[in-house]
Amino acid sequence: MNASQPSRPPLQPLQKRRAVPRPKRHLRQRSYQVMALETTAKIAVNLAISAAAVSALAQLVPHHWTQQDRLREVLTEVKLMEERVESLQTEFQRNFDPHQAHSIRQQQAYRFAPNQLPVVFVNRDGKEVEVLELLP
């Protein structure tokens, strides 16, 4: 019991800091003001973005309409060209058909075989109406 005890410094009681009472009303009021300011800023930014979007749409809509008109014109021209190509292909096939080569030459040269007679219909006023080929 006579053993030596480690020396410890005497414990001193810690002094408690006195909490300073904060005015809660002031903090709440300040946080409401900050929230109101933040919300107002958000609304202002959203209004600016909306105004920019409406302005862009106002500029794009007439451009869209003109593009649609041009597209309709191009589609009409394509349809006409397809019809023309189809008629040219038909004529091409007819011109290069070996079975019709003789009749095509006769039509283009206005020559007739010796056994064929051209028949010409004439109006009373002297105008030529129609030419028919007849076989004897």
How far apart (Å, rounded) are the C-alpha atoms in residues 120 and 86?
Answer: 33
CB neighbour class for 106 (10 Å; exposed up to 12, middle 13-18, buried from 19): middle
Confidence of residue 2 (pLDDT cuts 50, 70, 90): low
Round to whole Å and give the CA distance between 40 and 33.
Answer: 10
Residue 93 has pLDDT above 50, yes or no: yes
**Distance (Å, whole) CA 132 – CA 80:** 33
Q: What pLDDT score does 12 carry?
A: 65
Could you report the per-residue pLDDT of 8-53, keeping only the tens digit for each?
666 666 666 666 665 566 666 778 889 999 999 999 999 999 999 9
Instruction: Give the separation between CA 57 and CA 65, rounded to whole angstroms.
Output: 12
* pLDDT confidence of residue 136: 39
* Predicted local confidence at residue 135, as pLDDT: 44
